[in-house]
C-alpha cells in the first residue's frame, strides 16, 4: 500500500497477525530484503515492512530535508497511526537500525522492544561527524555523476561486505545486486546527504535514558560493530548483546537461519542458552 506523509509516498506492506513488528532495511536495500523472514514470522506476528525514502518503491524526493532523521521518524509514527498500531517491536539493520534507535529515542511509548542489527548511535564527536558528512557528500555527488550501477559495483567490494563472498551463494549475491540496482541516483545520493551517519543525531550521551529492552545483534567478523555494540551495552539500562559466529555486517544475509532463530527468540522474550548470548 501507499501512505502519504508530508507529500512523500511511502511503500508499506503488512502481513500476518499477532504482535506487530516493524522492519527497517539498510542503505541500498528495501522491504524485499526481509521477504524470506516475513514468510516465516508472519505465522505468529504482524510484520510491517517499509521502504525508507530514496529506496525501493517509496518516493525519492529532490528535497534532501525529506530524508532527515526527524522527518523519517515522524513519518514512521504517522504510518503506525494510519495502521492503528499503538506500539510495536522494532527491528532495524544498519541504516535501518540507526533509524530504529532514533525512533525509539523520539517516541519511546511506540516501541515495545528494540532489535538493532549491526548498527550504532551515530558518531561521538563533532569532528567525526563533520569528516563523515564531507565523505558522504562526496560519495553522493559521485553517485549522481557515475550512476547506480557504477556505485553498486563499488559498494559490493567494500571491506564491510567481504564476508558475503564466503557466506552467500552466487545466486544470493546476484539477487541482492538486482535489488540494489532498482534504486535511483537521486534516492541514494539524498539518503546519504539527508540521513547519513555524518548528519544523523548522536545518541551516545542519551543511551542511559533508553529504558526500552534493547538487543544488539552483531556478526563476529564485523570487528568495528562488535566494538560499538560492547560500548553501547555498557550504557543501556536494559540491553543484551548477541554475537553471531561466521557472519559479518549483514547477518540476515550471511546466516539467515541463525538470524531468524535469534530474532524469534527475542520476540518471544526467551533467553538464548547458546554461546551467542554475551
Q: How far apart are CA 102 and CA 137, in angstroms?
A: 22
Asked whether residue 82 is domain-assigned, the answer is yes
What pLDDT score was predicted for residue 274?
A: 42
Share of the chain above pLDDT 70, in %: 97
Cβ atoms of residues 16 and 88 within 8 Å:
no
Written as nine digits, the cell of 60 is: 525519492
What does the pLDDT look like over 194-249, one tens digit per residue? Answer: 999 999 999 999 999 999 999 999 999 999 999 999 999 999 999 999 999 999 99
- Is 223 domain-assigned? yes
Query: How many domains does the chain divide into?
Result: 1
Q: What is the pLDDT of residue 271?
A: 52
- 214-219 β-sheet, strand order: 2-5, 8-15, 45-50, 19-24, 88-93, 111-117, 214-219, 239-244
Q: What angle do CA 54, 180, 22 make, to 5 degrees?
A: 60
What is the predicted pLDDT for the residue at 59? 95
Contacts of 188 (CB under 8 A, 6+ apart): 27, 28, 54, 55, 140, 143, 148, 151
pLDDT the model gives residue 269: 82
Does residue 272 carry a pLDDT above 80? no
**Contacts of 256 by beta carbon, 8 Å cutoff, 6+ apart:** 36, 37
Helix, strand or coil, per DSSP, at residue 53 = coil
Structural domain includes residue 208:
yes
Between 272 and 163, the more confident residue is 163
**If you average pLDDT over residues 186-192, what whole number do you get?**
97
CATH code: domain of residue 43: 3.40.50.1820
Q: Which domain holds residue 228?
A: 2-267
Burial class (CB in 10 A: 0-12, 13-18, 19+), 157: exposed
Residues contacting residue 36 through CB under 8 Å, at least 6 positions apart: 256
Average confidence (pLDDT) over 126-138? 95
* Over residues 140-150, mean pLDDT: 97
- Chain mean pLDDT for the chain: 94
Number of DSSP helices (H) and strands (E) in the chain, helices first: 11, 8
Residue 37 lies in a domain: yes
Residue 272: inside a domain: no
Predicted model pTM:
0.93
Within a domain: 23: yes
In a domain, 275, yes or no: no
In-domain check, residue 278: no
At 270, is the pLDDT very low, low, confident or very high (cuts 50, 70, 90)?
low
Amino acid at each position: 500500500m501507499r501512505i502519504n506523509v508530508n507529500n512523500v509516498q511511502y511503500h508499506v506492506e503488512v502481513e500476518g497477525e499477532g504482535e506487530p513488528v516493524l522492519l527497517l532495511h539498510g542503505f541500498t536495500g528495501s522491504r524485499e530484503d526481509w521477504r524470506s523472514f516475513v514468510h516465516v514470522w508472519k505465522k505468529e506476528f504482524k510484520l510491517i515492512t517499509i521502504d525508507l525514502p530514496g529506496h525501493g518503491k517509496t518516493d525519492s524526493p529532490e528535497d534532501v530535508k525529506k530524508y532527515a532523521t526527524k522527518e523519517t521518524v515522524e513519518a514512521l509514527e504517522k504510518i503506525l497511526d494510519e495502521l492503528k498500531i499503538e506500539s510495536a517491536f522494532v527491528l532495524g539493520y544498519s541504516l535501518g537500525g540507526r533509524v530504529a534507535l532514533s525512533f525509539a529515542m523520539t517516541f519511546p511509548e511506540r516501541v515495545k522492544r528494540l532489535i538493532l542489527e549491526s548498527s550504532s548511535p551515530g558518531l561521538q564527536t563533532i569532528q567525526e561527524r563533520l569528516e563523515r558528512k564531507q565523505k558522504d557528500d562526496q560519495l553522493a555527488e559521485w553517485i549522481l555523476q557515475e550512476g547506480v550501477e557504477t556505485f553498486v559495483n563499488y559498494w559490493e567490494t567494500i571491506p564491510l561486505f567481504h564476508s558475503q563472498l564466503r557466506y552467500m551463494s552466487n545466486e544470493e549475491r546476484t539477487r541482492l545486486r538486482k535489488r540494489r540496482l532498482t534504486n535511483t541516483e537521486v534516492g541514494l545520493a539524498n539518503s546519504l546527504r539527508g540521513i547519513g551517519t555524518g548528519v544523523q543525531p548522536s545518541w551516545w550521551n542519551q543511551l542511559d535514558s533508553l529504558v526500552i529492552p534493547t538487543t544488539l545483534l552483531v556478526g563476529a567478523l564485523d570487528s568495528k560493530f562488535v566494538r560499538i555494540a560492547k560500548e553501547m551495552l555498557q550504557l543501556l539500562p536494559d540491553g543484551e548483546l548477541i554475537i553471531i559466529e561466521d557472519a559479518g555486517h549483514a547477518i540476515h544475509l550471511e546466516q539467515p537461519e541463525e538470524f531468524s532463530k535469534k530474532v524469534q527468540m527475542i520476540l518471544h522474550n526467551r533467553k538464548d542458552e547458546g554461546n551467542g548470548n554475551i
